[in-house]
């Protein structure tokens, strides 16, 4: 699972061999919280973060790097 970006409180990763119809990334936090986020819409698919505002910087990064994330997802999930 390649780490695409890392900050002090969170990291964004892309998994391979995932049979999901939506292209997504995994955002993991230092405290062990995790969510899966749709690359295209930024919608949380699975998981939750408290408080929800903690997720905002990761969602901004995902939105700004969609093409890079789509390319890595396609590479790992042909």
Confidence of residue 36 (pLDDT cuts 50, 70, 90): very high
Quick one: which of 38, 43, 4 has its CA closest to 21? 38
The pLDDT value recorded for residue 1 is 72
**Average pLDDT over all residues of the chain:** 94
* Domains of the chain, each with CATH number or no CATH: 3-76 (3.30.457)
Phi, psi of 74 (to 5 degrees): -65, -40
Total-model pTM: 0.92
Tokens at 19, concatenated: 């049979």
Residue 50 CA to residue 15 CA, distance in Å, equals 24
């Amino acid at each position: 699972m390649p780490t695409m970006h890392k900050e002090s409180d969170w990291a964004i990763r892309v998994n391979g061999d995932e049979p999901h119809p939506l292209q997504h990334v995994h955002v993991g936090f230092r405290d062990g919280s995790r969510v899966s986020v749709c690359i295209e819409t930024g919608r949380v698919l699975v998981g939750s973060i408290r408080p929800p505002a903690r997720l905002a910087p990761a969602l901004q990064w995902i939105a700004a790097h969609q093409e890079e994330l789509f390319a890595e997802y396609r590479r790992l999930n042909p």
